[in-house]
Structure 1
Protein backbone atom coordinates (compact mmCIF):
# COMPACT_ATOMS: atom_id res chain seq x y z
CA UNK A 1 0.00 0.00 0.00
CA UNK A 2 1.34 3.43 -0.91
CA UNK A 3 1.88 6.35 1.47
CA UNK A 4 -1.06 8.28 -0.02
CA UNK A 5 -3.45 5.34 0.41
CA UNK A 6 -2.35 4.91 4.02
CA UNK A 7 -2.89 8.63 4.74
CA UNK A 8 -6.31 8.52 3.09
CA UNK A 9 -7.31 5.48 5.12
CA UNK A 10 -6.07 7.12 8.35
CA UNK A 11 -7.96 10.32 7.49
CA UNK A 12 -11.21 8.43 6.83
CA UNK A 13 -10.79 6.48 10.04
CA UNK A 14 -10.30 9.74 11.98
CA UNK A 15 -13.40 11.32 10.41
CA UNK A 16 -15.48 8.19 11.12
CA UNK A 17 -14.32 8.17 14.74
CA UNK A 18 -15.21 11.87 15.09
CA UNK A 19 -18.71 11.35 13.65
CA UNK A 20 -19.40 8.36 15.90
CA UNK A 21 -18.18 10.10 19.04
CA UNK A 22 -20.43 13.11 18.30
CA UNK A 23 -23.44 10.80 18.49
CA UNK A 24 -22.76 9.60 22.03
CA UNK A 25 -24.86 10.86 24.90
CA UNK A 26 -23.41 13.39 27.33
CA UNK A 27 -24.46 13.49 30.97
CA UNK A 28 -24.34 16.60 33.14
CA UNK A 29 -24.85 16.76 36.87
CA UNK A 30 -26.44 19.81 38.50
CA UNK A 31 -26.72 20.61 42.20
CA UNK A 32 -25.51 18.87 45.32
CA UNK A 33 -26.87 16.30 47.77
CA UNK A 34 -24.70 15.35 50.76
CA UNK A 35 -23.43 11.80 51.09
CA UNK A 36 -25.13 9.38 53.49
CA UNK A 37 -22.05 9.33 55.72
CA UNK A 38 -22.25 13.11 56.16
CA UNK A 39 -25.97 12.88 57.00
CA UNK A 40 -25.24 10.40 59.78
CA UNK A 41 -23.61 13.28 61.67
CA UNK A 42 -26.93 15.17 61.90
CA UNK A 43 -28.95 14.30 65.00
CA UNK A 44 -32.71 14.89 64.78
CA UNK A 45 -33.91 16.91 67.77
CA UNK A 46 -30.42 18.23 68.57
CA UNK A 47 -28.86 19.94 65.54
CA UNK A 48 -29.90 23.44 64.45
CA UNK A 49 -29.87 25.31 61.13
CA UNK A 50 -26.36 26.61 61.82
CA UNK A 51 -24.94 23.19 62.72
CA UNK A 52 -26.54 21.61 59.62
CA UNK A 53 -24.87 24.23 57.41
CA UNK A 54 -21.55 23.60 59.16
CA UNK A 55 -21.83 19.80 58.77
CA UNK A 56 -23.13 19.39 55.20
CA UNK A 57 -23.03 22.84 53.61
CA UNK A 58 -25.45 25.53 52.55
CA UNK A 59 -28.67 24.19 50.98
CA UNK A 60 -29.56 24.52 47.32
CA UNK A 61 -32.89 26.04 48.34
CA UNK A 62 -34.27 26.99 51.71
CA UNK A 63 -37.85 27.66 52.69
CA UNK A 64 -39.13 31.15 51.99
CA UNK A 65 -40.24 31.81 55.56
CA UNK A 66 -37.90 31.71 58.54
CA UNK A 67 -39.21 28.33 59.69
CA UNK A 68 -39.01 26.65 56.26
CA UNK A 69 -36.87 23.62 55.59
CA UNK A 70 -33.61 23.11 53.72
CA UNK A 71 -33.62 21.38 50.33
CA UNK A 72 -30.54 19.88 48.70
CA UNK A 73 -31.26 19.01 45.06
CA UNK A 74 -29.14 17.10 42.55
CA UNK A 75 -30.18 16.07 39.05
CA UNK A 76 -28.52 14.33 36.13
CA UNK A 77 -29.49 15.39 32.63
CA UNK A 78 -28.76 13.50 29.42
CA UNK A 79 -27.99 15.47 26.26
CA UNK A 80 -28.11 13.45 23.07
CA UNK A 81 -27.70 14.82 19.53
CA UNK A 82 -30.67 16.93 18.45
CA UNK A 83 -33.07 15.71 21.15
CA UNK A 84 -34.21 17.90 24.02
CA UNK A 85 -32.28 17.36 27.26
CA UNK A 86 -33.83 14.61 29.41
CA UNK A 87 -33.61 14.43 33.19
CA UNK A 88 -32.61 10.86 34.00
CA UNK A 89 -32.29 11.13 37.77
CA UNK A 90 -33.14 13.56 40.54
CA UNK A 91 -32.55 13.34 44.26
CA UNK A 92 -33.96 15.74 46.83
CA UNK A 93 -32.91 15.80 50.45
CA UNK A 94 -35.41 17.69 52.61
CA UNK A 95 -34.45 18.72 56.13
CA UNK A 96 -37.34 20.07 58.21
CA UNK A 97 -37.00 22.26 61.29
CA UNK A 98 -39.37 22.93 64.17
CA UNK A 99 -40.36 26.41 65.39
CA UNK A 100 -37.15 26.63 67.46
CA UNK A 101 -34.92 25.95 64.42
CA UNK A 102 -34.01 22.40 65.51
CA UNK A 103 -33.98 19.52 62.99
CA UNK A 104 -37.30 17.65 63.12
CA UNK A 105 -37.07 15.36 60.07
CA UNK A 106 -34.74 14.27 57.24
CA UNK A 107 -36.27 12.79 54.07
CA UNK A 108 -34.94 11.71 50.66
CA UNK A 109 -36.97 11.76 47.47
CA UNK A 110 -36.06 10.50 44.02
CA UNK A 111 -37.46 11.03 40.56
CA UNK A 112 -38.99 7.55 40.78
CA UNK A 113 -40.96 8.51 43.93
CA UNK A 114 -43.10 10.96 41.98
CA UNK A 115 -43.41 13.21 45.03
CA UNK A 116 -43.52 16.92 44.29
CA UNK A 117 -41.76 19.00 46.92
CA UNK A 118 -43.63 22.30 47.14
CA UNK A 119 -41.11 25.08 46.76
CA UNK A 120 -43.07 28.30 46.69
CA UNK A 121 -41.87 31.81 46.13
CA UNK A 122 -43.36 35.03 47.26
CA UNK A 123 -44.00 37.59 44.57
CA UNK A 124 -45.27 41.02 45.43
CA UNK A 125 -48.17 41.80 43.16
CA UNK A 126 -48.71 45.36 42.02
CA UNK A 127 -52.20 46.70 41.64
CA UNK A 128 -51.46 47.96 38.14
CA UNK A 129 -51.05 44.56 36.54
CA UNK A 130 -48.73 44.47 33.55
CA UNK A 131 -48.37 48.23 33.07
CA UNK A 132 -44.72 49.25 33.05
CA UNK A 133 -43.25 52.22 34.92
CA UNK A 134 -42.70 54.22 31.70
CA UNK A 135 -46.26 53.62 30.59
CA UNK A 136 -47.57 54.81 33.97
CA UNK A 137 -45.37 57.90 33.76
CA UNK A 138 -46.54 58.85 30.28
CA UNK A 139 -50.12 57.88 31.11
CA UNK A 140 -50.24 60.61 33.76
CA UNK A 141 -49.07 63.34 31.36
CA UNK A 142 -52.31 63.34 29.43
CA UNK A 143 -54.40 63.25 32.62
CA UNK A 144 -53.57 66.84 33.63
CA UNK A 145 -56.04 69.48 32.45
CA UNK A 146 -55.52 73.26 32.14
CA UNK A 147 -58.08 73.78 34.92
CA UNK A 148 -55.98 71.67 37.28
CA UNK A 149 -52.91 73.80 36.49
CA UNK A 150 -54.78 77.12 36.93
CA UNK A 151 -56.37 75.90 40.15
CA UNK A 152 -52.95 75.02 41.58
CA UNK A 153 -51.54 78.52 40.93
CA UNK A 154 -54.28 80.39 42.87
Structure 2
Protein backbone atom coordinates (compact mmCIF):
# COMPACT_ATOMS: atom_id res chain seq x y z
CA UNK A 1 0.00 0.00 0.00
CA UNK A 2 2.81 2.44 0.90
CA UNK A 3 4.57 1.51 -2.31
CA UNK A 4 1.45 2.40 -4.29
CA UNK A 5 1.20 5.80 -2.56
CA UNK A 6 4.82 6.57 -3.42
CA UNK A 7 4.25 5.58 -7.06
CA UNK A 8 1.10 7.74 -7.24
CA UNK A 9 2.95 10.68 -5.71
CA UNK A 10 5.79 10.28 -8.23
CA UNK A 11 3.33 10.13 -11.13
CA UNK A 12 1.61 13.29 -9.90
CA UNK A 13 4.97 15.00 -9.51
CA UNK A 14 6.00 13.98 -13.04
CA UNK A 15 2.70 15.29 -14.43
CA UNK A 16 3.12 18.52 -12.45
CA UNK A 17 6.68 18.92 -13.70
CA UNK A 18 5.57 18.27 -17.28
CA UNK A 19 2.77 20.79 -16.93
CA UNK A 20 5.15 23.36 -15.44
CA UNK A 21 7.64 22.84 -18.30
CA UNK A 22 4.87 23.16 -20.90
CA UNK A 23 3.62 26.34 -19.23
CA UNK A 24 7.16 27.78 -19.10
CA UNK A 25 7.70 26.98 -22.79
CA UNK A 26 4.38 28.57 -23.73
CA UNK A 27 5.05 31.76 -21.77
CA UNK A 28 8.63 31.89 -23.06
CA UNK A 29 7.31 31.99 -26.61
CA UNK A 30 4.69 34.64 -25.91
CA UNK A 31 5.72 37.96 -27.46
CA UNK A 32 6.35 40.87 -25.11
CA UNK A 33 5.80 44.42 -26.40
CA UNK A 34 7.55 47.58 -25.19
CA UNK A 35 6.84 51.13 -26.29
CA UNK A 36 9.44 53.90 -26.12
CA UNK A 37 8.95 57.59 -26.74
CA UNK A 38 5.93 59.78 -27.37
CA UNK A 39 4.08 60.92 -30.47
CA UNK A 40 1.19 63.38 -30.21
CA UNK A 41 -2.22 62.16 -31.31
CA UNK A 42 -3.96 63.46 -34.41
CA UNK A 43 -6.33 65.57 -32.28
CA UNK A 44 -3.36 67.16 -30.48
CA UNK A 45 -1.70 67.98 -33.82
CA UNK A 46 -4.91 69.53 -35.11
CA UNK A 47 -4.66 72.12 -32.29
CA UNK A 48 -1.49 73.49 -33.95
CA UNK A 49 -1.65 75.93 -36.85
CA UNK A 50 1.31 76.25 -39.23
CA UNK A 51 2.13 79.90 -39.84
CA UNK A 52 0.73 80.94 -36.44
CA UNK A 53 2.15 78.72 -33.68
CA UNK A 54 5.68 79.22 -32.44
CA UNK A 55 8.27 76.83 -31.12
CA UNK A 56 7.32 77.77 -27.55
CA UNK A 57 3.58 77.32 -28.11
CA UNK A 58 4.18 73.88 -29.67
CA UNK A 59 6.18 72.64 -26.68
CA UNK A 60 3.61 74.17 -24.34
CA UNK A 61 0.78 72.35 -26.13
CA UNK A 62 2.48 68.99 -26.78
CA UNK A 63 5.27 68.80 -24.21
CA UNK A 64 8.99 68.46 -24.78
CA UNK A 65 9.98 66.66 -28.00
CA UNK A 66 12.16 63.59 -28.25
CA UNK A 67 14.78 65.59 -30.16
CA UNK A 68 15.40 69.04 -31.58
CA UNK A 69 17.29 70.25 -34.61
CA UNK A 70 20.86 68.98 -34.70
CA UNK A 71 22.58 71.80 -36.58
CA UNK A 72 20.07 74.55 -35.88
CA UNK A 73 16.88 75.09 -33.93
CA UNK A 74 14.54 74.77 -36.93
CA UNK A 75 13.08 71.37 -36.14
CA UNK A 76 11.31 69.40 -33.42
CA UNK A 77 10.91 65.63 -33.58
CA UNK A 78 8.54 63.42 -31.61
CA UNK A 79 9.48 59.74 -31.96
CA UNK A 80 7.73 56.61 -30.71
CA UNK A 81 8.87 53.03 -31.33
CA UNK A 82 7.29 49.71 -30.43
CA UNK A 83 9.47 46.63 -29.97
CA UNK A 84 8.49 42.95 -29.85
CA UNK A 85 10.58 40.39 -27.98
CA UNK A 86 9.92 36.65 -28.32
CA UNK A 87 11.76 34.30 -25.97
CA UNK A 88 15.53 34.68 -25.95
CA UNK A 89 15.67 36.47 -29.33
CA UNK A 90 16.71 40.08 -29.86
CA UNK A 91 13.91 42.70 -29.73
CA UNK A 92 12.60 43.74 -33.14
CA UNK A 93 11.14 47.13 -33.94
CA UNK A 94 7.65 46.51 -35.30
CA UNK A 95 6.30 50.06 -35.36
CA UNK A 96 7.79 53.54 -35.49
CA UNK A 97 6.11 56.91 -35.76
CA UNK A 98 7.91 60.21 -36.21
CA UNK A 99 6.29 63.63 -36.16
CA UNK A 100 8.66 66.23 -37.63
CA UNK A 101 7.95 69.93 -37.25
CA UNK A 102 9.88 72.58 -39.15
CA UNK A 103 10.19 76.22 -38.08
CA UNK A 104 11.43 79.27 -39.95
CA UNK A 105 14.22 81.59 -38.73
CA UNK A 106 11.74 83.51 -36.53
CA UNK A 107 10.58 80.31 -34.80
CA UNK A 108 7.18 80.13 -36.53
CA UNK A 109 5.83 76.65 -37.28
CA UNK A 110 5.97 76.06 -41.05
CA UNK A 111 4.91 72.42 -41.44
CA UNK A 112 4.10 69.18 -39.69
CA UNK A 113 4.93 65.78 -41.18
CA UNK A 114 4.19 62.31 -39.82
CA UNK A 115 6.31 59.31 -40.84
CA UNK A 116 5.93 55.58 -40.18
CA UNK A 117 8.03 52.45 -40.38
CA UNK A 118 7.31 50.42 -43.50
CA UNK A 119 9.78 47.90 -44.90
CA UNK A 120 12.61 49.62 -43.05
CA UNK A 121 11.96 53.02 -44.63
CA UNK A 122 10.49 56.23 -43.27
CA UNK A 123 7.31 56.83 -45.27
CA UNK A 124 5.29 60.04 -45.05
CA UNK A 125 1.83 59.27 -43.65
CA UNK A 126 0.65 62.87 -43.44
CA UNK A 127 1.98 66.25 -44.42
CA UNK A 128 0.72 69.72 -43.49
CA UNK A 129 2.79 72.48 -45.11
CA UNK A 130 2.52 76.25 -45.36
CA UNK A 131 3.55 78.19 -48.45
CA UNK A 132 7.20 78.52 -47.33
CA UNK A 133 7.94 74.81 -47.86
CA UNK A 134 10.39 72.54 -46.08
CA UNK A 135 14.10 72.70 -46.82
CA UNK A 136 15.71 69.32 -46.21
CA UNK A 137 19.43 70.03 -46.05
CA UNK A 138 21.33 67.30 -44.28
CA UNK A 139 24.91 67.60 -43.08
CA UNK A 140 26.13 65.19 -45.77
CA UNK A 141 24.30 67.14 -48.50
CA UNK A 142 25.88 70.40 -47.27
CA UNK A 143 29.33 68.80 -47.18
CA UNK A 144 29.01 67.34 -50.69
CA UNK A 145 27.61 70.63 -52.01
CA UNK A 146 30.68 72.54 -50.80
CA UNK A 147 33.35 70.23 -52.27
CA UNK A 148 34.00 72.44 -55.31
CA UNK A 149 33.58 75.76 -53.51
CA UNK A 150 37.08 76.37 -52.15
CA UNK A 151 40.15 78.18 -53.41
CA UNK A 152 43.53 76.47 -52.97
CA UNK A 153 45.32 79.82 -52.59
CA UNK A 154 43.59 80.25 -49.24
CA UNK A 155 45.42 77.16 -47.97
CA UNK A 156 48.88 77.64 -49.52
CA UNK A 157 49.00 81.42 -49.62
CA UNK A 158 49.05 83.85 -52.53
CA UNK A 159 52.56 84.62 -53.86
CA UNK A 160 52.04 87.94 -55.68
TM-score by length of 2: 0.65
The runs of at least 4 consecutive aligned structure 1 residues that moved more than 3 Å come to 5-8, 115-120
In the aligned structure 2, how far is the partner of 1:11 from the partner of 1:21?
Answer: 15
Residue pairs, 1:4-153, within 5 angstroms: 4=9, 5-112=11-118, 114-115=121-122
In the aligned structure 2, how far is the partner of 1:21 from the partner of 1:10?
Answer: 16
In the aligned structure 1, how far is the partner of 2:55 from the partner of 2:71?
Answer: 13
User: Do the aligned residues in 1 keep the contact of 2:74 with 2:107 (CA within 8 Å)?
Assistant: no
Hey, which of these two has a bigger chunk of strand by percent? 2
In the aligned structure 2, how far is the partner of 1:34 from the partner of 1:104?
Answer: 17
- 1:102-147 deviations in whole A, cap 9, x for unaligned? 1100000011282389886xxxxxxxxxxxxxxxxxxxxxxxxxxx
> What do you get for the CA RMSD once the two structures are aligned?
2.6
User: Do the aligned residues in 2 keep the contact of 1:95 with 1:105 (CA within 8 Å)?
Assistant: yes
Number of residue equivalences: 120
Structure 1 residue 79: Cα displacement: 1.5
Structure 1 residue 8: Cα displacement: 4.1
TM-score by length of 1: 0.67
